[in-house]
Amino acid sequence: MAEQSMADPPEPRQRHTDTLKNRRREQLIKSTITSIAKRGFADTTLANVAEGVGLSRGIVNFHFTNKETLLNDTLQYLADEYRHVWRHALDRAGPTVAERLYALVMADFDPVVYNRKKIAVWFAFYGESKSRPTYLALCEQRDEQHYIALRDLCRQLLDESGRMTVDADLIATAISAIIDGLWLDRLLTPNKMSTKRAKETALGYLDTVFSGHFTLHTDATDTRHV
Amino acid sequence: MAEQSMADPPEPRQRHTDTLKNRRREQLIKSTITSIAKRGFADTTLANVAEGVGLSRGIVNFHFTNKETLLNDTLQYLADEYRHVWRHALDRAGPTVAERLYALVMADFDPVVYNRKKIAVWFAFYGESKSRPTYLALCEQRDEQHYIALRDLCRQLLDESGRMTVDADLIATAISAIIDGLWLDRLLTPNKMSTKRAKETALGYLDTVFSGHFTLHTDATDTRHV
Amino acid sequence: MAEQSMADPPEPRQRHTDTLKNRRREQLIKSTITSIAKRGFADTTLANVAEGVGLSRGIVNFHFTNKETLLNDTLQYLADEYRHVWRHALDRAGPTVAERLYALVMADFDPVVYNRKKIAVWFAFYGESKSRPTYLALCEQRDEQHYIALRDLCRQLLDESGRMTVDADLIATAISAIIDGLWLDRLLTPNKMSTKRAKETALGYLDTVFSGHFTLHTDATDTRHV
Amino acid sequence: MAEQSMADPPEPRQRHTDTLKNRRREQLIKSTITSIAKRGFADTTLANVAEGVGLSRGIVNFHFTNKETLLNDTLQYLADEYRHVWRHALDRAGPTVAERLYALVMADFDPVVYNRKKIAVWFAFYGESKSRPTYLALCEQRDEQHYIALRDLCRQLLDESGRMTVDADLIATAISAIIDGLWLDRLLTPNKMSTKRAKETALGYLDTVFSGHFTLHTDATDTRHV
DNA sequence: AATGAATGAGAATTCATTCAT
DNA sequence: AATGAATGAATTCTCATTCAT
């Protein structure tokens, strides 16, 4: 009774060669994500994970030596996936700074990452991160890279409009915080927070700061209730 | 060798009579908070909690029947404490709507609640909330009440300035999200986010929306590195 | 179906206070000895040990934290017991050096220590000692103390008879080696080596070296076939 | 990264034809010996053994069906090697009985067998022998054959010197025991027992019993610290 | 012959919970 | 109220063994 994921990530980074062994590893990681989302971090056992891919109990220790290793690799996988999504969004974005900023912020509401299952897992790792240095480092790093991209775009946009004196860091921090907060809303009150509403909230802020530039494009798909 | 908390909360609501039994319960809850912050949710055992108050192993089952009950009561305790802080802030706030809004937002950065230990525990519960309905309900409810207070003040402020058409919910949601996001920053990157900076970020948003009303009062104590 | 020991050792050293907890510890150590003798070192499980005292599976971890600790403590227990036997024998020995030497050597054939069960356990530890420094240290130390007592008596006896030039160390080493070898015989070929024969062999050597002093006293009890 | 032995034994008996398959078997047996010496009996796994010859995990089951079979064959290999050494020594010995006895006893200190690694493995098997009849039989038999050779030579030497009434069995038993005891010393206190000293101790006994016949020949190589 | 992925039984260990004192 | 010994279910981990390639 293999429980399996939803939106499969677009192969986060072209990792390793595509051996059978690596396929299994990925299967197990996905099963781990599914289990954490469903049962929580504390109640996720290796037996659950193995059952999720329809294999025997010992399988995880065979591919990951440790439970801890599996968990680390799972977080790494999520971080890779997340990075891939926003970088890809930037790659496809229009040429102007405003377009790029728009794309970057909207990427955080891409259904691949912005869905209750994935968000639940992220917050599960956040919840353990204070007591686990490895998690903390991975989470920190995920944020850091995204933040830099965000701040640089804000700075450019401010420069363009001649507002060099405004603190780009403050704005980027605020945007980042809003997004994180909206993710948390999706986790805690999924019924009250549609994807559309979340995007509007984030864009509402952008539009307030960079007046007139940002309103929601209407092609947005709403994946509420996931 | 009782490990014990920092800023003890101002007796969240005067509930129960102050029996010996209730003192013990509170000791145990505080020890639970300390343990979750230190060891994480998954590694917090009843033995840890008991050791934290210097009592014997079986003590928790005596006062809380269940581990689950202890955990629920701990979350309830945190929620009470949080509610107490912002309500108390409103009670002491000046008469104007702007003052009240300022006080409400600043309450979220009161050292009683805005410190890395407490935040870690909140996020530990968030992390488990998807799979545990009781936690979800408690977390939802905490947010709900705070959100309503926040939105009503926003609405009043908009009304005062004749901007009735603006969506108060959108603004309240954004403020709420920013605050949550700033809490997460405090958890993940405590060294990069001072209390002062966090307040500035939140107020920065308010000031953008309600222009000119909000700047940081200079009595702010900075408790960075907690 | 508690499997239990034979000749209970005469309380090796007046250890700790005689709490209930210490009684359990000793029970478990004895059960460990029994199990190693019966099943061998490699096949001795904590479940076996627990079953040996009629308690539940988790009991060993409760009293010894570790399997390794249990094993170390078991070896220590055996070493204490062994030391106690030969020291006690010396205490009761007659006043002459020859009498003392006789007593010391005969102590190694005291049924408390010289029986196939105990010997099997000693050799089980010897067998693991190369790869386990703790065992090695404990075994070495056991030998060392006994050896010194033995050599000093040999030296005194040589001095008494004016043979100062003879190498007492060589003789003591030989006696020690003979005894160890006889223990091994008891393990490997119990049917061919009665206690009486073993004693005769050891005394035969003593008598050859210190001519005329040593023949077997006839009160020896033979515990062959144990 | 094949861990491999030291003094390779002089092909114990010319058994089996020298097929590739038999080479593999011997490689695996040697790897087993190395592993037991290094990690102990209990911690020697088939994976270790396979790794020792640089082959894959499943290899042992291919050549030995069983772990038990591998272990039995390993003990048999050691026994063959041991027998080969002392028989070869007898073959090369001088014509007199004393010379032959000297050669037989000295064979037990031949570096091929008298080194800490091999001794550790012997004692590992001794340690398990009480609970494993196959090991017991093999160990017993090894001793038996050697013992008979030893006793016969003792008897002849006694006959030669007209001491027919002396118990040759007692003397042979004592010599055997001394040798075993000296092996144990080498295992437990390798730094205190040089090969030379061990030989002196054994010969010291022979010389005491068969006065004047036995002193150490000076060509002895000392392999202390092995 | 050899590989190495997969199995699954069994081991140690952890820990919430019970209960006699 | 509190203790702490004991329980036993659950979990991680190990490893001999199997088997398709």
* Six-digit token string for A21: 């062994």
| Whole-number pLDDT of residue A221 | 46
Q: What is the pLDDT of residues D123-177, one digit of tens each?
A: 999 999 999 999 999 999 999 999 999 999 999 999 998 898 899 999 999 999 9
Chain-centroid distance, C-alpha C55? 28
Contact indicator for A143, A137 with CB cutoff of 8 Å? no
**What mean pLDDT value characterizes chain A?**
88
**Closest CA to E3 C1' — which residue?**
D56
Residue D118 structure tokens: 């091999």
CA distance D149 to D155: 10
User: How far apart are the CA of D8 and the nearest CA of chain C, in angstroms?
Assistant: 20
A65 CA: nearest nucleotide by C1': F13
Instruction: In whole angstroms, give the CA distance from residue C68 to residue C135.
Output: 11
Q: Chain A neighbours among B 61-90 (CB < 8 Å)?
A: none
The count of other CB atoms within 10 Å of the CB of residue B8 is 11
Question: B149 is written with which tokens?
Answer: 């207070």
Contact across the interface for D143 and C189, Cβ inside 8 Å: yes
The token pair that represents C116 in the structure block:
């196939």
Query: Which residue is closest to F3 in terms of CA–C1' distance?
Result: B56
First to last CA, chain D: 21
Which ranges of D93-132 would DSSP assign to H, the alpha helix? 97-107, 116-129
**Domain chopping of chain C, boundaries:** 12-65, 71-225
Contact status, residue D126 vs residue C184, Cβ threshold 8 Å = yes
Per-residue pLDDT, A223: 38
Q: Is C165 on the interface with D (CB under 8 A)?
A: no
Q: Using CB atoms, which residue from A38, A42, A123 is nearest to B126? A: A123
Judged by average pLDDT, the poorest of A200-204, A207-211, B170-174, D110-114 is: A207-211
Cα–Cα distance between D56 and D47 in angstroms, integer?
8
Residue nearest to nucleotide F7 (CA to C1'): C56
Put simply, the answer to whether A174 touches B204 (Cβ < 8 Å) is yes
Q: Do B177 and A176 touch (CB under 8 A)?
A: no
Closest CA relative to residue D126, chosen from D104, D107, D143:
D143
pLDDT of residue D54: 95
Backbone angles phi, psi at C155, to 5 degrees: -60, -45
Proximity of residue D25 CB to strand F below 7 A = no
Chain C residues with beta carbon closer than 8 angstroms to that of D136 = 188
| CA separation for the pair C177, D184 (Å, rounded) | 8
Which residue from B63, B58, B33, B62 is spatially nearest to B46, judged by alpha carbons? B58
Distance, in Å, from the CA atom of C179 to the CA atom of C174, rounded to the nearest integer, reads 9
What is the CATH number assigned to the segment(s) A12-65? Answer: 1.10.10
The answer on pLDDT for D215 being more than 50 is: yes
Kindly report the average pLDDT of chain D as a whole number: 88
User: How far is Cα D201 from Cα A148, in angstroms, rounded to an integer?
Assistant: 78
In Å, what is the separation between the CA of A124 and the C1' of F12? 21
Question: Nucleotide E7: nearest residue by CA–C1'?
Answer: A56
**Rounded mean pLDDT, D65-82:** 96
- D164 CB burial (10 A radius; 0-12, 13-18, 19+): exposed
| A187 inside 8 A of chain B by CB | yes
Distant-in-sequence, close-in-space partners of B88: CB < 8 Å, separation ≥ 6: B10, B107
Q: Are D24 and D32 in contact (CB under 8 A)?
A: no
Place of tokens 């980042």: A176
Containing H/E element for D195?
A: helix D195-209
- A120 close to A34: Cβ distance less than 8 angstroms: no
Residue A19 — very low, low, confident or very high, per pLDDT cuts 50/70/90?
A: confident
Flag whether residue C200 sits within 8 Å of chain D, measured between CB atoms. Answer: yes
Which residue of A70, A188, A226 to mutate against B (max B Cβ within 10 Å)? A188
Q: What is the predicted pLDDT for the residue at C88?
A: 98
Distance C50 CA to E19 C1' (A): 21
Is residue D219's pLDDT more than 60?
A: no
Amino acid at B192: K
Per-residue pLDDT, A218? 59
Nearest to C99 by CA among C58, C140, C160, C11: C160
Please check whether residue D226 touches C, CB under 8 A: no
Q: Inform me whether the pLDDT recorded for A43 exceeds 70.
A: yes
| Rounded Cα distance, D121 and C130, in Å | 9
The reported pLDDT for the residue numbered A216 is 67
Tally of CA atoms within 13 A in the half-sphere of C43 that contains its CB:
12
Please determine, for residue D3, whether its predicted confidence score (pLDDT) is greater than 60. no
Position C4 scores a pLDDT of 44
| CA-wise closest residue to A117 among A3, A2, A206, A1 | A3
- Chain A neighbours (≥3 Cβ pairs under 8 A) are B
**Residue B34, amino acid:** T
Contact in structure between D170 and C200 (CB atoms under 8 Å): yes
Smallest Cα–Cα separation from A96: which of A222, A220, A210?
A210
Nearest in space to A125 (alpha carbons), one of A110, A136, A111? A136
Could you give the CA distance from residue B36 to residue B45 in angstroms, rounded to a whole number?
9
Q: Which residues of D touch C196 (CB under 8 A)?
A: none
Residues from chain B contacting residue A209 (CB–CB below 8 Å): 208
Q: Which residues contact D223 (CB under 8 A, 6 or more apart)?
A: D111, D114, D115, D195
Q: How far apart are CA B187 and CA B196, in angstroms?
A: 15
* Residue in D with minimal Cα distance to C200: D170
- Render pLDDT for A137-182 as a digit per residue (tens, 0 to 9): 999 999 999 999 999 999 999 999 889 889 999 999 999 999 999 9
Closest CA–CA distance from residue C198 to any residue of chain D (Å): 9
What is the average per-residue pLDDT within D102-117?
A: 98
Nearest-5° angle of CA B37, CA B83, CA B152?
130
Spanning CA of A30 to C1' of F18, the rounded length in angstroms is 28
State which residue of chain A sits closest to B204, comparing Cα positions.
A170
Q: What pLDDT band is residue A18 in, cutting at 50, 70 and 90?
A: low
* Inter-chain residue contact D130 with C40, CB threshold 8 Å: yes
The pLDDT of residue D2 is 41
Q: Is strand F less than 7 A from the beta carbon of D46? A: yes
Burial class (CB in 10 A: 0-12, 13-18, 19+), B14: exposed
Please give the model's pTM, rounded to 2 decimal places.
Answer: 0.87
Q: What's the gap between Cα D198 and its chain centre?
A: 15
Average pLDDT over residues A41-52: 96
CATH class of C71-225: mainly alpha
Nearest-angstrom CA–CA distance, A116 and C29: 54
Q: Which two tokens stand for residue C197?
A: 């024969």
* Percent of chain C clearing pLDDT 70 (strictly above): 86
* Residue where the block lists tokens 């804000």: A154
Is the CB of C16 less than 7 A from some atom of nucleic acid strand F?
A: no
CB pairs under 8 A between A and B: 154
State residue A4's pLDDT score: 44
Contacts 24+ apart (CB under 8 A), C193-201: C193/C224, C194/C222, C194/C224, C195/C109, C195/C111, C195/C114, C195/C220, C195/C221, C195/C222, C195/C223, C195/C224, C196/C220, C196/C222, C196/C224, C197/D173, C198/C109, C198/C114, C199/C106, C199/C109, C200/D170, C201/D170, C201/D173, C201/D174, C201/D177
Tell me how far apart the alpha carbons of residues B137 and B220 are, in angstroms, rounded to a whole number: 33
Least confident of A211-220, D70-79, D100-109: A211-220
Q: Which residues of D touch C71 (CB under 8 A)?
A: none
User: DSSP string spanning A69-119?
Assistant: HHHHHHHHHHHHHHHHHHHHHHHHS-SSHHHHHHHHHHHTT-TTTSSHHHH
Query: What confidence tens digit (pLDDT) does each residue in D131-143 have?
Result: 999 999 999 999 9
- Say yes or no: A43 contacts chain B, CB-CB below 8 A: yes
Distance separating alpha carbons of residues B78 and B12, to the nearest angstrom: 9
Q: What is the largest CA-CA distance in chain B?
A: 63
Decide if B5 contacts B113 (C-beta within 8 A): no
- Residue A162, min C-alpha distance to chain B (Å): 18
The proportion of chain D whose per-residue pLDDT surpasses 90, expressed as a percent, equals: 77
Residues of chain B with confidence (pLDDT) below 70 = 1-17, 212-213, 216-226
Residues B198, B226: Cα–Cα separation, whole Å: 14
Return left, alpha or beta for A189; rule: phi > 0 is left, psi -120 to 50 is alpha, else beta.
beta
Interface of D with C in 103-132 (CB under 8 A): 116, 120, 123-132
> CA C67, D121, C129 angle in degrees (round to 5)?
40
d(CA B110, CA B87) in angstroms, rounded, equals 12
> Tokens 């068969």 label which residue?
D210
Residue C218 is predicted with a pLDDT of 59
Q: Hey, what are B10's tokens?
A: 């101002």
D224 pLDDT above the threshold of 60: no
φ/ψ of C221, rounded to 5, equals -90, 135
Which amino acid makes up residue C35?
S
Give the helix, strand, coil percentages of chain B, each rounded to 5. Answer: 65, 0, 35
Q: How many CA atoms lie within 13 A of B41 on its CB side?
A: 31
**Tokens encoding D70:** 């591998």
Report residues of chain C scoring pLDDT below 50.
1-16, 220-226
Comparing CA positions, the residue from A40, A76, A47 lying closest to residue A61 is A47
Q: Which of residues 138-197 of D touch strand F (CB under 7 A)?
A: none
| Residue D133 contacts C, CB cutoff 8 Å | no
- A179 at B interface, C-beta within 8 A: yes
